[in-house]
Structure 1
Amino acid sequence: MDDATARSIVTHVGRLVAEHYVFAEVGSDLARLLHQRTTDGRYDRAGDAAALAALVTEDLQSANGDKHLRLLHSADDVPADTDEAQLARLTRDASADGSGIAQLERLPGNVALLCLRPILYPPQIAGEAMVDALRLVADADALIIDLRECRGGAPDMVMLVCTYLLGNEPLHVEDFVSREGHLRQYWTLPYVPGPRFGPDKPLYVLTGPATFSGGESLSYALQQTGRATIVGERTGGGAHPREGFRVHPHLEASIPVARGISHLSGDNWEGTGVRPDVPAPAADSRDVALHLALSGRPRADHNTFDLNE
């Protein structure tokens, strides 16, 4: 990549951040920072698209550590900025990822394990697969949902999953607030097909540092309702919904365009992550959760769990 191309890309990113970032003042400050760094020649030595993405991401996150705010490199062509192109890419990805249903297993003691990764795909793509998976675990005596490698997803899919795990009455879970103050509410659904796992049986959610965005939204909602015990490590800390903007055939500007706010807590997990109820190494969290499910132990109060106790 030549220097002129790199500078043009960074200028485009700066303009997009100023126009769309959820915190307008921060967006303007970052645009000025990118302009100054461009003038100083910081990006002239990038060499290729991947290196440029790393440099720009470092600068974008220097203001407030927003992990959703970044320049993403893709070995494949980045789709055009249209809903149809984005949906087509997600559909292809979901087909390769089993619709995000990575594992479904019945463990000893009639404990079901449902592993969701790499993301929670939108219901219009993966809703049928998710419904089938949740119907299969409905008769388990306890359920473990593994979100340790769930790095994002659609809020509508979060609501679909929550509906199978909470009560019958629709529940206002979270809101998205744009930089202009526009509000979008997210509620659980009044109806879903088939039996539900329901609001009463033991539920454990596994988390780790790779749990991010949509995976955190699901974890946080189930924790704040008191529905689930979170087992593992603190999550990545990304609560701002993002949009992607194509700035090069292999580069996408990821820009948060709203704030996610839990209607349950009035807060979110941005920068802090979702804190586990039962801290344990992420690699051990499945065994810890299974032990808790089989022993019927209540939730721990932020004390590290020892399998040998």
Structure 2
Amino acid sequence: MPTNEKIIDDALGRIAAGYVFPERTAEIEGSLRRRLAEGAYDGLDGPTLCRTVTEHLQEVCPDKHLRLLWSDEPLPPARADDEGRAAFLALLRTENQGVRRVEQVDGNIGLIDIRRIADAGEGAAVIGAAMQVVAHTSALVLDLRACRGGAPEGAAMWCSYFFHDDQVHLNDIHDRTTGTTRQFWTAAHLPGPRYTDRPVYALTSATTFSGGEDVAYTLQAHGRAVVVGETTRGGAHPTARHPITAHVLVTVPTARTVSAVTGTNWEGVGVAPDIAVPADRAVDAALEAARAELLRRS
């Protein structure tokens, strides 16, 4: 059984090798090693160690994707990138590509409940089918309150439906490990009808995270959606997951997202709503706003 010191050593090695802001790694390492020398981690069981180290990591570097995590179930061996992607795609298949519910409510308003942001390849048909159901509604609500992440390519596909063509630059992702920058633009071809020139509302909560935040932030920044609900959790960095022991893994942000509109992202601050209400009131608030807007346009 690895000692707590060995777990921290291995985690720091992964952070030093991959963290998206290499200039921060010396400060991170110095902080954890100082606490290690002071005995802050002596005798801590696995779950407590992970919670404590995560708190200390985020004190020195408030990046919500930078974490030490405990798993009660044994973790699978470290996977190659293609194996990790295969596991992610398999999970999405069991969850209907992240689309939990699609419906039409009174006032000819569509509502799509999105729990994960699917891969743009395998998820395209389900996303297109959801958009087909709401194609003739007068306004649309995207419920992202329980959405905790997913694929950047899928976020770009969801956003593409709300613009006329493929000429909108959404954001860029700068990757430290490859030294590359990937641009994300609206898609030229979509498997469902575009939803343009009609009001769109994105619902958020304090647990909306990562890919869910990407959709809300991008549509808000481009003036294409009104965000309703709570400020989101604030995680904008694509992240690698590295098993350290059979039950401990470290998550290391390796890239950063930059909006083509704002020049920044939602890391650490979250997506601030345009209409601030408790998450459990967001549906009603969005429907009220949608009906008022449709009345104004009539």
Whether these two folds match at TM > 0.5 is yes
Q: Measure, in 2, the Cα distance between the counterparts of 1:298 and 1:73.
A: 51
Q: How many residues are matched?
A: 294
Q: CA RMSD in A?
A: 2.0
Q: Deviations over 1:112-140 (max 9, x none)?
A: 110111x2122234332222112221221
Per-residue deviation, 1:297: 6.4
Per-residue deviation, 1:39: 2.9
Per-residue deviation, 1:33: 2.3
Per-residue deviation, 1:278: 1.2
Which runs of 5 or more structure 1 residues have no equivalent in the other structure?
Answer: 300-309
Do residues 11 (structure 1) and 9 (structure 2) align? yes
Name which of 250, 255, 268 aligns with 2:252.
255
Name the residue aligned to 2:107: 109
In the TM superposition, what are the counterparts of 1:7-156 in structure 2 within 5 Å? 7-48=5-46, 50-79=47-76, 80-117=78-115, 119-156=116-153
Alpha-carbon distance change, 23 to 240 in structure 1, aligned in 2, over 3 angstroms: same
Per-residue deviation, 1:61: 0.7
Alpha-carbon distance change, 51 to 85 in structure 1, aligned in 2, over 3 angstroms: farther
Q: Measure, in 1, the Cα distance between the counterparts of 2:119 and 2:155.
A: 9
Q: Measure, in 2, the Cα distance between the counterparts of 1:234 and 1:207.
A: 7
Q: Measure, in 2, the Cα distance between the counterparts of 1:298 and 1:40.
A: 64
Alpha-carbon distance change, 30 to 298 in structure 1, aligned in 2, over 3 angstroms: farther
Name which of 220, 228, 235 aligns with 2:232.
235
Q: Deviations over 1:132-190 (max 9, x none)?
A: 11222122111000011111121100111111111113311111123475311111111
Name which of 287, 290, 293 aligns with 2:290.
293
Do residues 270 (structure 1) and 267 (structure 2) align? yes
Per-residue deviation, 1:283: 0.9
Paired residues of 1:17 and 1:28 also in contact (CA < 8 A): no
Q: Measure, in 2, the Cα distance between the counterparts of 1:36 and 1:64.
A: 15
Letter in 2 for 1:208: S
Name the residue aligned to 1:216: 213
Which runs of 5 or more structure 2 residues have no equivalent in the other structure?
Answer: none
Per-residue deviation, 1:36: 2.8
In the TM superposition, what are the counterparts of 1:190-201 in structure 2 within 5 Å? 190-197=188-195, 199-201=196-198
Q: Measure, in 1, the Cα distance between the counterparts of 2:117 and 2:156.
A: 11
Per-residue deviation, 1:67: 0.5
- Give the secondary-structure state (helix, strand or coil) at the position aligned to 2:203: strand
Name the residue aligned to 1:283: 280
Alpha-carbon distance change, 174 to 83 in structure 1, aligned in 2, over 3 angstroms: same
Deviates more, 1:202-211 or 1:84-93: 84-93
Q: Measure, in 1, the Cα distance between the counterparts of 2:65 and 2:87.
A: 19
Per-residue deviation, 1:30: 1.1
